[in-house]
Chains A and B, each alone.
Chain A
Amino acid sequence: MAINWFKYSSPASFYFLAGKMIPLFTIAAIILFAVGLYIGFFVAPTDFQQGEAYRIIFIHVPAAWMSMFLYVMMAIWAGIGLAFNTRLSSMMATAIAPTGAMFTFLALWTGALWGKPMWGAWWVWDARLTSELILLFLYIGFMSLQAAIDDPRRADKAGAVIALVGVVNIPIIYFSVKWWNTLHQGATVSVTQSPKMATTMLTGMLIMSIACWMYAIAVILIRTRTIILERERHTAWVGELRGVAQ
């Protein structure tokens, strides 16, 4: 029997589906965070080169992965919203942006904390750091454009255009920053030359990544529900919802 996927492209039915999914993802995130942090702090051995400071990778690397992954997801949802005129897709894109920006900031922040004891500097103009910073600018541009437009439909579409233009530009920006970096004298320490990782470290990092993923899904669903309520506040089903709640 075929499942009717389009049923949940309606905000009204998605609202209840999301309400059922949020607890699942929240619980998964809490358990995985607990396991991942336990491995990170107690099970994983101390690195013989970097000492205890390397343990920040358990949050740094997942945050950096999520920041890039979420931008692509945001652009995909925004693109679907623009192409098929589906309201829910655009709401998803709007909901993803703050979480993505948060992870980008977290990756930069933890990177600075790690860089100080390792490289002796809070900030190095390394290709990865620079492109992560530009990614943060792109997130901020997307969010401030949407915030400046009062009409939500126009905000959705304008945001979609800038997200898609950004996605086309990300590879160009990444490679130009990389070549710029090699033209100048290269950074003294490269991020790519990480020592071979012990299996426990890798396990911890992967568990933390999945935990961040679950957390992102839960938070994005909560935010989508809020956006749905805000935009559909004049509809009958939201009115009924309010009647039930009171």
Chain B
Amino acid sequence: MSLWVIQRDLLLAMRRRSDVLTTLFFFIIVVSLFPLGVGPEINMLRTMAPGVVWVAALLASMLSLGRMFSSDYLDGTLEQMLLSPQSLAMLVLGKALAHWLVTGVPLVLMSPVLGIQYDLSTDALLVLTASLLLGTPVLSLIGAIGAALTLGLRGGGVLVSLLVLPLYIPVLIFGAGAVEASAAGLGASAHLSLLGAFLLTSLVLAPWATAVSLRISME
């Protein structure tokens, strides 16, 4: 059931590729702005890189949350999904995973290139990519709750950032921390394990909370 939703959402995203590319380019631009703002000092950039890439990923993932439910809400598809005998949580899980495939995966693939701009070592690049791979699905899953709650509200886009960004903080801390820990010689496995734990917890709880929120919003 989730697979069907993922397939459908991916098809829709491929029909409008510019949406996907906008998010990706937003990510690239934000990351590239930081050296212009703080100066090209390479040692400073190297220590800043994980945090900058992670904050940019947070913002990029958050900006595209509005699209997760809004078009289905406007054309009535969402209402039919709520009426369907299938479990709403599974449908929501499919939508969140589709959102991750469309916005998260391109960021993960692009991050090593941006890391090279910041002169990260090969090990650090590997850890950065791994942490983004584990962390970005969590962003989509948590963000789905915020997107569902703000569905159809005026100023929903700004509101969703107020709701969702504080909840993203643990992911940010451990995502950026993984790279710093491996650079300090501590090893990134503890951070990556915690990110994995966040992923599993949010896989179980977030779709359920999103389903409840959708039913509230569609009443």
Mark A residues whose CB is within 8 Å of B: 134, 137-138, 140-141, 144-145, 148-149, 153-154, 157-158, 161-162, 164-166, 168-169, 172-173, 176-177, 179-180, 183
Contact = CB atoms under 8 A, between A and B. Distances in A.
Contact of B180 (A134, A154, A165, A183): A183
Contacts of A173: 166, 169-170
Given A165-B167, A176-B169, A177-B173, A144 B216 contact: no
Find the residue from A137, A162, A169 having the highest chain B CB count within 10 A.
Answer: A162
A145 B170 contact: no
B177 A183 contact: yes
B163 interface: yes
Interface of B: 145, 149-150, 153-156, 159, 162-163, 165-167, 169-170, 173-174, 177, 180-181, 198, 205, 209, 212-213, 216-217, 219
Contacts, number: 70
Nearest to B155: A148
B170 A161 contact: no
A161 B209 contact: yes
Chain B interface helix/strand/loop/mixed: helix
A149 B181 contact: no
A148 B150 contact: yes
A83 to B, nearest CB: 11
A26 B66 CA distance: 45
Given A144-B159, A168-B205, A162 B149 contact: yes
Contacts of A180: 173, 177
A140 B166 CA distance: 10
Given A148-B156, A162-B145, A165-B209, 14 more contacts: A134-B169, A145-B150, A145-B159, A148-B154, A154-B219, A158-B149, A161-B145, A161-B213, A166-B166, A173-B166, A173-B170, A176-B170, A176-B174, A180-B173
